[in-house]
Amino acid sequence: MIRMCVKVTGAPVVINVLEDAEDVPEFVSWVRRHRSALGCDTETTGLDWWAEDFRLRLVQFGTEDTSYVLPVELSDELLAAAVGAIRFAEKLIFHNAPYDALVLDATTDLTVEEIWPKVVDTKILSHLVDSRGEADGGVGHGLAALTRHYVDSGVAARIKGSMTEIAKSLKTTKAEVWKTVPWDHGGFLTYAGLDPCLAFRLGRFLIPKLPPTVYRKTEIGHGVRPMNLVEFEHAVAEVCALMSRAGIRLDRAYTLRLEARLTLEESRWTERAQELGCGNPWSTEQCADAFEARGVHRFERTPTGNRKVDKRFLDAHRQAGDELAETIHQAKAARKKRTTWLKSFLESVDSSGRIHPAINSLQARTARQSIQGIPAQTLPAGDWEIRACFLANEGEIILSTDYINMELRFLAAYAGDSRMLAAFRAGEDLHQITADAAGVSRKIGKMTNFLIVFGGGAGALAEQAGISKAEAERIMGIFMETYPGVARFMAEKTKEARRAGYVTTPSGRRLYVEKRFAFRGTNYFVQSGSRDITCRALIRLHHARLTPHLLLPIHDEVLLSVPVEHADTAARMTDELMRETVRGLEIPTDPDRGGRSWGSLYMQGADHLTQRDNYYRENPDQALIDDQRRNPETYVLTV
């Protein structure tokens, strides 16, 4: 047994490192004494737990002042002791539990399902205490940031920098050090041994700091027991971990073909840009020079005085028919698709042809989720080409079920605005109502509605709609006159945020708002409350045993892979399980069955579907049915 001692807040923490099977009895005796709650952590060769060369190196357990580190890569006996301790413990306190649960699922005979009932995740607790990240003025949710604030700033600094220093000493990179550092390196063992103790301590610090509202029980529905917010977020994190574990099939052949085509397109557009006087489409200065040479002299400026040639500039000139703007746009678009997305897909696919996205179930200030590995939430609206890289499971097709006007309906329900509620209940077009009231196009009416929900002001509307700020202010003023209940509600939430420094959502989540930005209180309330509706749906789908079919949650949409023969039944089930009634107003869903690829949901025209998707190629009649359902306005009834 290797023994080390480190001081945390001036008191000793003893780190015990097992070397062989003879050290196991002492560890087992210690686990028996502390069975009720143990901090837990793992050290591995990297973050890619699905990779063939991925290894579990250490498993660590800790209390406030003692930790045991098991170098499980040394022997089966040490691995068995670690697995046995996890099974024996009643509660396991992790920081970022989904990752460690997936690691243990991938490298041992433990499963996420077996581990999760014991889990307390201090990352979840920290978000419920203060949802703000460090950049927003909050404590943050990383282990180092939380340790610095709640435990010991000196220890936090050592944690943050120790592996970087070890990498330097071993003359390797920080990415590679996890694979190459010797298991008995003193700095590595100190780093590893402290983590479970810090997680244990953070659990004790954070639980008393949780706002009392998080213990408010919320109805989940469909036979699922009511949950408080702590239980709810752990349940959501489990469902997201299970989706990450399953992953999504990558159409590698299609992705490679698309990559090759985009390489050629990028080259062709770049050559044309050079012919038009722009030597490098990725150099803002060279682009600006090329436009000036063509007689364009009006540019917005950056704070440092440089000319802007951004998306807004290019779009304006493209709409005016400027070939140079179109050429630069196309060259940039081809490169972005190829390097930002396709390259990443091909590098992260596992040996079975699947990509495992990291689904962060509790990410933004408002608790909205984020996804790494597959840019599901940031792909251009309506783009089918990149989405077509991803396929349903073998013998299945894609099903997407999303909410209809979720945020606006949620706002209407809580604002109690009679005009907005009547519009939704009568099936009226809310965007057209807003547009007619202001005497503008439906497009601008829609922009106005969503900017209100997402906290945008007249400046944002002016920029997006290409109108003057005075006109934007007039339109937003008319919105407030048209929906006075919304105006009152927004004023109440602004007042609440200014008075308390936060707003509290229906589920009991406290969202801090800087007083100078108190006007964002409504936006935070609506975004967070809407997010919770989607997450309640995930839990209901999980309890209905549909988890094996879940692929991704994408804001107000859930993507699934379902057997072809049961696709219509699955659509009805997801519609029933996901729809929710908020204060008497239904928030309906729109199930949409597709073909083999995710991209098929975004293709338009039956001919396009049959040409681009294998399922529709084999089932042309279904292509016509699905396209008619999605685009009824393009089909004219003839007699």
Tell which residue, 43, 2, 40, 42, has the closest CA to residue 19.
2
CB atoms within 10 A of CB 72: 25
Residues 10 and 145 in one domain: yes
* Residue 155 falls inside a structural domain: yes
Residue 103, domain CATH? 3.30.420.10
- 8 A C-beta contact, residue 413 and residue 586: no
With 0-12 / 13-18 / 19 or more C-beta atoms within 10 angstroms meaning exposed / middle / buried, residue 3 is exposed
Q: How far apart are CA 125 and CA 229, in angstroms?
A: 10
Residues 186 and 256 in one domain: no
pLDDT at 637: 59
- 8 A C-beta contact, residue 83 and residue 72: no
Give residue 335's Cα distance to chain centre: 24
* Residue 309 falls inside a structural domain: yes
Residues 119 and 61 in one domain: yes
- 8 A C-beta contact, residue 362 and residue 127: yes
Tell which residue, 140, 128, 185, has the closest CA to residue 162.
185
Residues 172 and 286 in one domain: no
Residues 285 and 205 in one domain: no
* Residue 405 falls inside a structural domain: no
Q: Extract the tokens encoding 580.
A: 């929710």
- What's the number of domains the chain is made of? 2
CB atoms within 10 A of CB 597: 26
* Residue 463 falls inside a structural domain: no
* Residue 525 falls inside a structural domain: no
pLDDT at 633: 82
Quickly list H helices, 454-598: 458-465, 469-482, 484-500, 521-543, 567-578
Residues 127 and 205 in one domain: yes
pLDDT at 639: 41
* Residue 17 falls inside a structural domain: yes
Residues 283 and 205 in one domain: no
Per DSSP (E only), the strands in 11-80 are: 11-17, 38-44, 56-62, 66-70
Per DSSP (E only), the strands in 407-563 are: 502-504, 510-512, 550-554, 557-563
Residues 255 and 206 in one domain: no
- 8 A C-beta contact, residue 397 and residue 593: yes
pLDDT at 88: 97
pLDDT at 158: 77
* Residue 397 falls inside a structural domain: no
Residue 307, beta-bridge partner list: 301
Helices (H) and strands (E) in the chain, counts: 27, 20
Residues 174 and 319 in one domain: no
- 8 A C-beta contact, residue 541 and residue 558: yes
Q: Is 161 strand, coil or helix?
A: helix
Per DSSP (E only), the strands in 365-405 are: 370-372, 390-391, 396-403
Residue 321, domain CATH? 1.20.1060.10
String of DSSP letters for 424-465 = HHHT--HHHHHHHHHTS-HHHHHHHHHHHHTT--HHHHHHHH
pLDDT digits (tens, 9 = 90+) for 115-137: 999 999 999 999 999 999 999 99
- 8 A C-beta contact, residue 363 and residue 379: no
**With b meaning 16 or more CB within 10 Å and e meaning fewer, what string describes 98-114?**
bbbbbbbbbbbebebee
The residues of the chain scoring below 70 in pLDDT are: 160, 636-639
- 8 A C-beta contact, residue 570 and residue 399: yes
Residues 48 and 189 in one domain: yes
* Residue 23 falls inside a structural domain: yes
Contacts of 96 (CB under 8 A, 6+ apart): 121, 123, 143
Give residue 141's Cα distance to chain centre: 15
pTM: 0.93
Domain end position, chosen among 145, 178, 210: 210
Q: Are strands 38-44 and 92-94 parallel, antiparallel or unpaired?
A: parallel
* Domain containing residue 266: 250-348
At position 364, the amino acid (one-letter code) is A
Residues 267 and 318 in one domain: yes
Domain end position, chosen among 153, 178, 210: 210
Domain end position, chosen among 210, 233, 265: 210
Cα angle, residue 624 at apex, residues 618 and 627 outer, rounded to 5°: 115
Residues 199 and 255 in one domain: no
